[in-house]
Amino acid sequence: MARALAKSTIKRLEKRLVDERDRLTEVIRDIEAEREEVRLSETSSERSPDPNTAEGGSLAFELEKELSVAQNAKDLLEKVVIAMERIEAGTYGSCADCGTVIPVARLDALPYAIRCVDCAASR
């Protein structure tokens, strides 16, 4: 049976979560600002929002890509926030499903993990 996480380990992982939260928040903010800029430029006569033109097709592709990146960042941010809430609640490091201690190696790789490998694989 694995032992509970040391407070120093939790503090180290919490710092990583805070850094990741800040990074993801900035990524999302930058993407949304860029999308707003594109949206505003689409209304000008300089840009053609018509997806049947080369420029319009490229613009549509870029917007779709940015939407995907933004959604991925939002999903990851949600996982980070949940992990941080688990630190506050004192449940960080134990599997949300079976209650076993999540190995430190897993948390080092995925500090936002809330499930052990077995429970995560069964989802």
What is the distance between the alpha carbons of residues 25 and 86, in angstroms, rounded to a whole number? Answer: 19
Query: What pLDDT, on the 0 to 100 scale, is given for residue 45?
Result: 47
Query: What pLDDT, on the 0 to 100 scale, is given for residue 3?
Result: 74
Which residue range is the domain that position 56 belongs to? 7-92
What is the distance between the alpha carbons of residues 70 and 75, in angstroms, rounded to a whole number? Answer: 9
In a domain, 57, yes or no: yes
In a domain, 122, yes or no: no
Do 98 and 118 form a contact (C-beta atoms < 8 A)? Answer: yes
Do 113 and 13 form a contact (C-beta atoms < 8 A)? Answer: no
In a domain, 101, yes or no: no
In a domain, 24, yes or no: yes
Share of the chain above pLDDT 70, in %: 80
In a domain, 23, yes or no: yes
Give the tens place of pLDDT for each residue, 64-103. Answer: 787 889 999 999 999 999 999 999 999 999 999 999 999 9
Q: Which residue has the higher pLDDT, 34 or 39?
A: 34
In a domain, 97, yes or no: no
Do 109 and 14 form a contact (C-beta atoms < 8 A)? Answer: no
Counting the structural domains of the chain, the total is 1
pLDDT of 1 higher than 90: no
Query: What pLDDT, on the 0 to 100 scale, is given for residue 14?
Result: 98
* pTM, to two decimals: 0.78
The angle, 0 to 180 degrees and rounded to 10, between the axes of the packed helices 7-42 and 54-89 is: 150
Q: Which residue has the higher pLDDT, 51 or 101?
A: 101
